[in-house]
Every structure is written in structure tokens, then in C-alpha cells.
Structure 1
């Protein structure tokens, strides 16, 4: 049987590793996101760096929540549409940049990807989507 102090030490080690994984992925996400703006006029480089940035951002939260809980949360009833749009837009951003070499399509899917990511992120904040809809409605 493990002593209480060994269990506490083990738990603290796991939590520390998760925080390091989160911080590393988030830091790399920010770096790749900033680099993508440098290559904005090069569709392939921009799309790869920006999409990699988004994938690392999602991976960073998996360190905090755990992958299974994160995936269940992503495909929860209230988030499934935003998640599917987000993942599809990521794929289409890469396809339009790599296969079609189309700047216009790449930017269009980038905008969809950005919007889906914001909508998905707002789902974690109580009443944030409703507030965003009211703000957007008053601007229009």
C-alpha cells in the first residue's frame, strides 16, 4: 500500500506534468499563430502554420482535461456543430492552400475556422453565446 505522502507526491507530479504540457502546447500555438501572420500572402505556409496553431491550442486543453473528457466535451450536444465546422474548416483551409493554391479560398476557410473557434470557445462561458449574438445583432 502506498503511503499518503507518496500518493500526494505522485498526484503533484502528474498535475505538474499536465501544466507543463498545457503551457508548452499553448506557447507553441502562439508562436505558430504569430508566424502564420508573417506568411499571410503565402497560402500554403499560412494555412499549415495557422492550422497547426489551432491543433496545438486544442491539444493544450487536452493536457488539462484529459483527452477522453476533452473529446466528449467537444462533441457534446451544445458544441457538436461548432466542433464539426471547426474541424472541417481546418481541413478545407489546408486543402485549399496545398491542393488548389488558392489564396481566396484559403482566406475564406481561415475566416470560417476563426469564427468556428470563437463560437466553440464561447460555449464554455455561461451565456457568452447569447451575449455575442446580442452584440452582433445590435451592430447589424
Structure 2
């Protein structure tokens, strides 16, 4: 939400940090085609649809966290503007577990192709069983 009220000066500073981060990723991709990393800090979970999102909590490693704290993980790819593809790898306690594949800037086909190869080896998406509310 801080982004809604940033001054131009602060936005330029943040954009400079994004550019430096993007350069670090570019250096990494000189040696690697893609990076496979978590999508979220925990496997899938029953969703909380209560009206006040700030009051929603989720337990991670025995500690309650604000529901939206998990959004840092997708930011690994989105902050520097890199393409990423999320894929399922299996089920844990009947819920899907997956990873995100991050590729080099403007190389959207790289994570997509790796996702295709992984799917070929591990099988495709299997819908979880339906949960009663």
C-alpha cells in the first residue's frame, strides 16, 4: 500500500533497486537456464474468505502470520519483472504442492518449456478432493 503514496523521488529510488535486482538475476542466468523455487511458504490450505483480510491468519511452522505475508514468495519473480510458471508436483494431505519456475527476462518460453518437461516426468495436474465447508 505504500506504493500508492510514493513520491516520484522515492519511486525512482525503488526503481533503481529493482534495476539492480534485475541485473543480479541476469548474472545468475548466465550460468543457469531457470530457477525452481517455492510458490508459497506452505502447501495449499483451505482458504479464509472472511471480510477483513488483515484479520486473516495462517500458521507457518507453528507461528501465526498475517495471511498476506505469503505474497513475498511470488514477488521473487514479479518484483524484477521475470517470467514465472507455477506447476503442481503432487499432493500433501490431499492438497496440491507446487513450485514456481523463474526464467530470464523476456524469455517466457524457458519456464514454460521446463514446466512441460517436469510435467512429462512427474505427471500432470490432479485435482484435490472436494472439501466440505
Answer yes or no: same fold by TM over 0.5. no
Query: Which of the pair has more CA radius of gyration?
Result: 1
TM-score (norm 1): 0.28
TM-score (norm 2): 0.29
Structure with higher helix content = 1
Structure with higher strand content = 2
